[in-house]
C-alpha cells in the first residue's frame, strides 16, 4: 500500500526497474515473491534478496515489480547509497523527495507539503540541521503561497525545536506563541501539545527544570500515558529528569512505573534505552543497573541525541563523577555556525528528537494541567 502522502506523485502502475524479462531456474524464488505480494495486499511484508554479485539480484526485483504492476499495485523504487548507510529510512527519503519535487511544479501540493515536513522531521531525528531548515522553509512557503494554514503548523513546530537546540529562546517563544494563537480559538489541542514540547526543549537549554516539568506534564501528566498522545513518548525522559531535579521523585517513579506497565521498551531500542535510564534516575541510586543497561541497548547509537543523553545520565558518563547528571555546564554543547553541535567536552549531543511514535496501550488518564505563560 502506498502512503497517502505519496498518492498522485507516482504513476499508478509500471515498473521503475524496467521490464524484468523471462527468468530461467528461478521458480522457487518466484513462488516466494508471489507469496510475498499476496501477503502485501492484506498487510505490509518485507522481502530480502541476498546473494553474491552477478547471480541475478537485479533481474529478480525487476520481475517482482512486473508481477506487482500486473496486479494493479503501485511500485516505488529507491536506491541505497553508501554515504547514507548510517541514516535510517534512506530509501524513504528518496521517495519523499520525489513527492516534494512535484510541489515545486505546482502539482499535488498538499502531499508535497506533507513530504517536505516529513523530510524536515527526518533531518531533525538524524541531526541534519541545515537540511531541516531548508525542507521546512520550503514547505512553509508553499503553505503561504497556496493558502494551506492547517498544514503549516508541523513546520512551525520543527523550526521551534531547531531554535530551541541552538539556544535561540526568543525565536522559540515567538514561534510557539504563533502556534498557540492559531490553536486556541480552534481548540486544536494537538498543536498546543507540540508547542509545549518545543518550550520544554527551550527550558532544558536554560536549565529551568520547573518549566520543563510544567510543559512535559501538559503533554502527559506524571504517571500517565494517555491514549492517542504519542508525543508523550518523546517527552518521557524530559518529565522524569525534571521531576527528579525539582524534588518530585515520587512522580518520577510513578511515570517510570507507567512506562514499564505499558511495556514501552518493546516498542523500540530508543524507548528501551530511555526507560532504563529513567528507572535509574528515578531510583536515585548511583549503582542502579539501569545506567549500564541503557548504554548496552542494541542499536542505541542510531539515535543521535538519546544515546549521548543517556550516556551523560549514567554514573560513568561525562567525567565519571559518580552521580547522575545531564546538561551540566561542563558537558553542555555549543552551536556551531555550520549547523551542528560542538560539545565543550564529551560526546556530540544534538537535541532530543521529537517525531511522534506509536502510541502505547490505553492507560489511566486525568486532565493535563495547562502550562502557565
pTM for the complete prediction? 0.72
172 vs 320: which has the higher pLDDT:
172
351 occurs within a structural domain: no
Q: What is the distance between the alpha carbons of residues 284 and 274, in angstroms, rounded to a whole number?
A: 16
Q: How many distinct helices (H) and strands (E) make up the chain?
A: 15, 2
- Identify the pLDDT of residue 304: 63
- Give the cell for residue 273: 534505552
9 occurs within a structural domain: yes
Task: List, for residues 42-80, the tens digit of each pLDDT value.
Answer: 666 777 788 787 776 778 888 888 888 888 887 777 777
55 occurs within a structural domain: yes
- Identify the pLDDT of residue 116: 96
121 occurs within a structural domain: no
- Identify the pLDDT of residue 18: 57
Task: List, for residues 328-351, the tens digit of each pLDDT value.
Answer: 333 333 333 333 344 333 333 333
Domain count, the chain: 1
Task: List, for residues 186-196, the tens digit of each pLDDT value.
Answer: 999 999 999 99
Mean pLDDT for the chain overall: 78
- Tell whether the model's pLDDT for residue 368 goes beyond 80: no
pLDDT band at 371 (very low <50, low <70, confident <90, very high): very low
Task: List, for residues 75-110, the tens digit of each pLDDT value.
Answer: 777 777 666 666 667 788 888 998 898 888 888 899
Q: Which strand (E) or helix (H) includes residue 198?
A: helix 189-206
Three-state SS for 319?
A: coil
129 occurs within a structural domain: no
88 occurs within a structural domain: no
91-95, 221-225, 304-308: lowest mean pLDDT where?
304-308
Q: What is the distance between the alpha carbons of residues 59 and 61, in angstroms, rounded to a whole number?
A: 6
Three-state SS for 364?
A: coil
Residues sharing a CB contact under 8 Å with residue 185, sequence separation 6 or more, in sequence order = none
- Identify the pLDDT of residue 296: 87
- Identify the pLDDT of residue 17: 60
The closest of 231, 235, 279, 215 to 253, measured between CA atoms, is: 279
SS3 breakdown of the chain: % helix, strand, coil, rounded to 5? 55, 0, 40
Q: What is the distance between the alpha carbons of residues 371 and 213, in angstroms, rounded to a whole number?
A: 10
Q: Which domain holds residue 35?
A: 4-77
Q: How far is CA 5 from CA 11, 147, 201, 205, in A?
A: 14, 18, 29, 34
52 occurs within a structural domain: yes
311 occurs within a structural domain: no
Amino acid at each position: 500500500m502506498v502512503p497517502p502522502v505519496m498518492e498522485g506523485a507516482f504513476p499508478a502502475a509500471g515498473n521503475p526497474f524496467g521490464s524484468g524479462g523471462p527468468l530461467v531456474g528461478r521458480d522457487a524464488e518466484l513462488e516466494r515473491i508471489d507469496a510475498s505480494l499476496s501477503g502485501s495486499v492484506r498487510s505490509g511484508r518485507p522481502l530480502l534478496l541476498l546473494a553474491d554479485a552477478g547471480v541475478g539480484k537485479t533481474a529478480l526485483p525487476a520481475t517482482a515489480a512486473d508481477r506487482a504492476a500486473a496486479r494493479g499495485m503501485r511500485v516505488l523504487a529507491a536506491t541505497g547509497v553508501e554515504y547514507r548507510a548510517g541514516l535510517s529510512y534512506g530509501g524513504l527519503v528518496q521517495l519523499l523527495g520525489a513527492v516534494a519535487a512535484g510541489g515545486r511544479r505546482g502539482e499535488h501540493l498538499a502531499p508535497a507539503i506533507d513530504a517536505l515536513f516529513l523530510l524536515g522531521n527526518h533531518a531533525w531525528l538524524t541531526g541534519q540541521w541545515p537540511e531541516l531548515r531548508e525542507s521546512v522553509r520550503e514547505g512553509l512557503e508553499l503553505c503561504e503561497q497556496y493558502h494551506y494554514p492547517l498544514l503549516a503548523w508541523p513546520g512551525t513546530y520543527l523550526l521551534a525545536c531547531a531554535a530551541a537546540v541552538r539556544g535561540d529562546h526568543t525565536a522559540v517563544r515567538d514561534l510557539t506563541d504563533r502556534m498557540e494563537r492559531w490553536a486556541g480559538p480552534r481548540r486544536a489541542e494537538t498543536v498546543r501539545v507540540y508547542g509545549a514540547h518545543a518550550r520544554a526543549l527551550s527550558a532544558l537549554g536554560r536549565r529551568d527544570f520547573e518549566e520543563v516539568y510544567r510543559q512535559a506534564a501538559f503533554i502527559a501528566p506524571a504517571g500517565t500515558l494517555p491514549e492517542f498522545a504519542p508525543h508523550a513518548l518523546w517527552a518521557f525522559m524530559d518529565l522524569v529528569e525534571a521531576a527528579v531535579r525539582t524534588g518530585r521523585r515520587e512522580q518520577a517513579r510513578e511515570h517510570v512505573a507507567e512506562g514499564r506497565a505499558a511495556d514501552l521498551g518493546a516498542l523500540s531500542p530508543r524507548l528501551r534505552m530511555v526507560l532504563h535510564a529513567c528507572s535509574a534516575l528515578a531510583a536515585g541510586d548511583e549503582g542502579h543497573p539501569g545506567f549500564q543497561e541503557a548504554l548496552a541497548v542494541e542499536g542505541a547509537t542510531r539515535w543521535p541525541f538519546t544515546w549521548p543523553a543517556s550516556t551523560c545520565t549514567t554514573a560513568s558518563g561525562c567525567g565519571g563523577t559518580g552521580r547522575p547528571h545531564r546538561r551540566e555546564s561542563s558537558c553542555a554543547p555549543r552551536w556551531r555556525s555550520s549547523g551542528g553541535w560542538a560539545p565543550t567536552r564529551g560526546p556530540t549531543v544534538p537535541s532530543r528528537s521529537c517525531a511522534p511514535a506509536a502510541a502505547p496501550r490505553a492507560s489511566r488518564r486525568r486532565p493535563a494541567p495547562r502550562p502557565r505563560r
